[in-house]
Chain A
Amino acid sequence: MPEPILHVQDLKKYFPVERSLIDRLLGKSRLYVKAVDDVSFEVYENEIFGIVGESGCGKSTLGRLIIGLIRPTSGSIIYRSSLLKRTVDIAKLREKELRVLRRELQIIFQDPYSALNPKMKIGDFIGHPLEIHGIAKGEEKRELVMKIMEKVGLVPPEEYYDRYPRELSGGQRQRVVIARALILNPRLIVADEPTSNLDVSIQARIIALLLRLRDEMKLTYIFITHSIALAQNICNRIAVMYLGKIVELGDSQAIIDEPLHPYTRLLMSSVIDPDTCKLPRVREVSEPPSPIGEIKGCRFASRCPEKLDICLKEEPPLVEVYLGHYVRCWHYVRR
């Protein structure tokens, strides 16, 4: 087994909810949205680790925590840095050290339209991190930018360098975003829904690009997506999140072959199979519970077709059912 490059342990991020003046005068206690609640996992060098879940499950918060864009409430994010030549806890790092680490940790966002600066030529935009980190400027910068543009398929680079974002299509913009993320030669990239705004034919090309770059630049990806079908297609391992917690974690293939958690099965059954052309019948209509405040028992219980009495009372632990295949469900707890 290779060494993990990243080890997330008991990570929590609680966002306080604004109380109204009346609530405050009445002395009601502060409520929290538990966006990420006690999440632990490891990411190995050169793998693609998928985080799958619906909007609001905390997957994007988790991505931002990992690269230090936001600070956790508690828990640790142990990262083996090659630049600092030691193991650091991103959760406890000072801003100054974090800035150095940003060279190794990068993020790609979903919307390539708002990620780009409309007033900046795309060549300058891609090369900006080089100046910020004092690595290169002027002619040297231009050369490095050209090289990376070629890598991401913005060819010929001379033709793209002086263009503005508005002249580019969605797929090309996402290539620009990827080029900027790669210019500092990072090791770990958090890709937060990088293809959700694109049509499937462009999505396929961006995914192809990311796969090639992983080999060429020895990258590790944390791939955040709402599409379990896409995750199963490209990830080595997958974590399924529901309301702030990991409910299932395992090898992609293991989850395809035998999804354990009822929520994972629900997600898989709502994927449309274009070969049969049938509208999947999703029977349940109930909504997920509010993420604010305490949830009693299993957080999926209100929507679960297989719930037991205990599910409403007590939160199930994460248990290892097969080697490396974990699930948080009472059905798999030996009692």
Chain B
Amino acid sequence: MNILEIHNLEVVYRIGRRNVLALRDVTLMMRKGEIRAIVGESGSGKSTLAAAILRVLPSNARITKGKIIFDGIDILNISEKEMQKIRGSRIGIIFQDPSATFNPVMKICDHIAELLYVHKRLRWEEGIKIAETLAKRFGIPSERVYDYPHQLSGGMKQRFCIAMAIATNPDLIIADEPTTALDVVTQMQVLSMLRDLRDEYGTSIMFITHDLSLALSISDNITVMYSGEIVEEASTEDIRKEPLHPYTQMLMECIPRVRSKIDFRRFDIEKIELPNTQGCPFSNRCRYARDQCLKEDPPLIDLGGRKVRCWMYA
């Protein structure tokens, strides 16, 4: 059973007088209870994808093609009012910057109580009680829910963001770079919390990150995006053992490890880093690029169980 199905999604941004394709032909199926990592650099379209699923795209963006089905509901074809019932209730959201999530003049407990009042019609006092239980669950003393956001450390704020995202017991959590603003140690704690959440409640999690090593450590499956397209999709194990797309391979090689040293000097090649407008967007950085790659964008090739967008596998 799929919790989320995205079919041939295309999103266009209007910038000045130009149209910029942010997502091209994105098709993605997520099973119930799956942790799916979406990996890509900034500008690869991974955050646009999240915004499209939540229907919170900026005003200059338009979905020009495709379908998004969440738990059987075609969410691009329902009213904003119906969408509000899903957003924050059935789909939880965790953003990169925890301080931007909270209203600075509201106590943490009131955020959670409000959320539960709006979505579940729970009385305020009940909401506050739930806030306290959630705090304990995430290793925070329950009296801290009466604090204002500025009184908490970044790690605590992010834990409260997760608490808020799961307060309504959602089916899907979209976590957009949830640990980027955190210290390495806190980062690991937040990751284990997300993983425990899935293990205990079967919540599906879409984990969006630019850091492949984080994706490898937490997810079941990985989708790698480059320049608005899916370039590789496989189980985490397959990506770890044998990344197929040259971009994924490059990412794997460049992760700094503690005990073995990378010879950085071999990456000092002087080529332009902007994506090609024609052909495969990665071809200008690709060490295997051939003539065909410069002319024609490869299709997403199904290799049975995993997919890759590269002419080498055609």
Q: Is the CB of A279 within 8 A of B257?
A: no
Q: Which residues of chain B have C-beta atoms less than 8 A from A204's C-beta?
A: 253-254, 262, 264, 267
Question: CB within 8 Å of B: which of A98-153?
Answer: 153
How far, in whole Å, are A170 and B253 apart by their CA atoms in the complex?
Answer: 20
Q: Which residues of chain B have C-beta atoms less than 8 A from A232's C-beta?
A: 256, 258, 261
How far, in whole Å, are A233 and B264 apart by their CA atoms in the complex?
Answer: 9
A26 at the interface (CB under 8 A from B): no
Q: Is the CB of B251 within 8 A of A228?
A: no
How far, in whole Å, are A197 and B252 apart by their CA atoms in the complex?
Answer: 18
Known: A205-B267, A207-B264, A234-B264. A277 touches B258 (CB 8 A): no
Q: Which residues of chain B have C-beta atoms less than 8 A from A234's C-beta?
A: 264
Q: Which residues of chain B have C-beta atoms less than 8 A from A268's C-beta?
A: 258
**Residue from B153, B217, B253 within 8 A of A279 (CB atoms):** B217
Stretch of B79-87, B119-127, B188-196, B294-302 that contacts chain A:
B188-196
A217 at the interface (CB under 8 A from B): no
Q: Is the CB of B273 within 8 A of A169?
A: yes
Question: CB within 8 Å of B: which of A259-292?
Answer: 266-268, 270-275, 277-282, 284-285, 287-288
Task: Kindly report which residue of chain B lies nearest to residue A282, judged by CB atoms.
Answer: B188
A333 at the interface (CB under 8 A from B): no
Q: Which residues of chain A have C-beta atoms less than 8 A from B184's C-beta?
A: 54, 226-228, 267, 270-271
Known: A270-B188, A274-B212, A277-B236. A200 touches B251 (CB 8 A): yes
Known: A203-B254, A267-B184. A277 touches B264 (CB 8 A): no
Q: Is the CB of A285 within 8 A of B139?
A: yes
A254 at the interface (CB under 8 A from B): no
Q: How many residues of B contact A (CB 8 A)?
A: 52
Q: Which residues of chain A have C-beta atoms less than 8 A from B153's C-beta?
A: 287-288
A257 to chain B minimum Cβ distance, whole angstroms, is 9
B41 at the interface (CB under 8 A from A): yes
Known: A282-B185, A285-B189. A274 touches B155 (CB 8 A): no
Q: Is the CB of A279 within 8 A of B188?
A: yes
**Residue from B41, B191, B256, B268 within 8 A of A227 (CB atoms):** B256
How far, in whole Å, are A155 and B270 apart by their CA atoms in the complex?
Answer: 8
**Residue from A170, A207, A266, A270 within 8 A of B267 (CB atoms):** A207
How far, in whole Å, are A208 and B265 apart by their CA atoms in the complex?
Answer: 5
Q: Which residues of chain B have C-beta atoms less than 8 A from A203's C-beta?
A: 254
Q: Is the CB of A266 within 8 A of B185?
A: yes
Q: Is the interface of B mostly helix, strand, loop or mixed?
A: helix
Q: Which residues of chain A have C-beta atoms less than 8 A from B255's C-beta?
A: 200, 272, 274
B28 at the interface (CB under 8 A from A): no
How far, in whole Å, are A165 and B188 apart by their CA atoms in the complex?
Answer: 35
Q: Is the CB of A277 within 8 A of B240?
A: yes
Residues 229-273 of B, flagged 1 when their CB comes within 8 A of A and 0 if not, give 000000011001000000100111111111101101111111001
How far, in whole Å, are A169 and B226 apart by their CA atoms in the complex?
Answer: 13
Q: Is the CB of B216 within 8 A of A282?
A: no
**Residue from A202, A233, A284, A288 within 8 A of B261 (CB atoms):** A233
Q: Which residues of chain A have C-beta atoms less than 8 A from B262's C-beta?
A: 204, 233
Q: Which residues of chain B have C-beta atoms less than 8 A from A233's C-beta?
A: 256-257, 261-262, 264
A171 at the interface (CB under 8 A from B): yes
Q: Is the CB of B264 within 8 A of A270?
A: no
How far, in whole Å, are A145 and B255 apart by their CA atoms in the complex?
Answer: 33
Residues 264-307 of B, flagged 1 when their CB comes within 8 A of A and 0 if not, give 11111110011000000000010000000000000000000000
Q: Is the CB of A208 within 8 A of B268?
A: yes
Residues 156-184 of A, flagged 1 when their CB comes within 8 A of B and 0 if not, give 00000000000011111000000000000
How far, in whole Å, are A55 and B153 apart by their CA atoms in the complex?
Answer: 11
Q: Is the CB of B274 within 8 A of A172?
A: yes
How far, in whole Å, are A197 and B43 apart by their CA atoms in the complex?
Answer: 12
How far, in whole Å, are A276 and B236 apart by their CA atoms in the complex?
Answer: 11
Q: Is the CB of B265 within 8 A of A211?
A: yes
A198 at the interface (CB under 8 A from B): yes
Most chain A CB within 10 A, of B192, B240, B255, is at: B255
**Residue from B183, B211, B216 within 8 A of A277 (CB atoms):** B216
Question: CB within 8 Å of A: which of B198-248?
Answer: 210-214, 216-218, 236-237, 240, 247
Q: Is the CB of A279 within 8 A of B185?
A: no
Q: Is the CB of A169 within 8 A of B43?
A: yes
How far, in whole Å, are A228 and B261 apart by their CA atoms in the complex?
Answer: 12
B187 at the interface (CB under 8 A from A): yes
Most chain B CB within 10 A, of A229, A274, A277, is at: A274
Task: Kindly report which residue of chain B lies nearest to residue A166, judged by CB atoms.
Answer: B15
A309 at the interface (CB under 8 A from B): no
Q: Is the CB of B217 within 8 A of A278?
A: yes
Q: Is the CB of A277 within 8 A of B237?
A: yes
Most chain B CB within 10 A, of A168, A200, A226, A228, is at: A200
A312 at the interface (CB under 8 A from B): no
A29 at the interface (CB under 8 A from B): no
**Residue from A172, A228, A230, A277 within 8 A of B273 (CB atoms):** A172
B38 at the interface (CB under 8 A from A): no
Q: Is the CB of A267 within 8 A of B185?
A: yes
Known: A274-B240, A278-B217. 10 other contacts (CB 8 A): A168-B274, A199-B210, A201-B247, A204-B262, A211-B265, A233-B261, A267-B184, A275-B240, A277-B236, A285-B189
Binding site for B on A (CB under 8 A): 54-55, 153, 155, 168-172, 197-205, 207-209, 211-212, 226-230, 232-234, 256, 266-268, 270-275, 277-282, 284-285, 287-288
Can you list 12 A-B contacts (CB < 8 A)? Answer: A198-B41, A200-B255, A200-B256, A201-B247, A208-B264, A211-B268, A228-B184, A233-B256, A274-B257, A278-B217, A285-B139, A285-B189
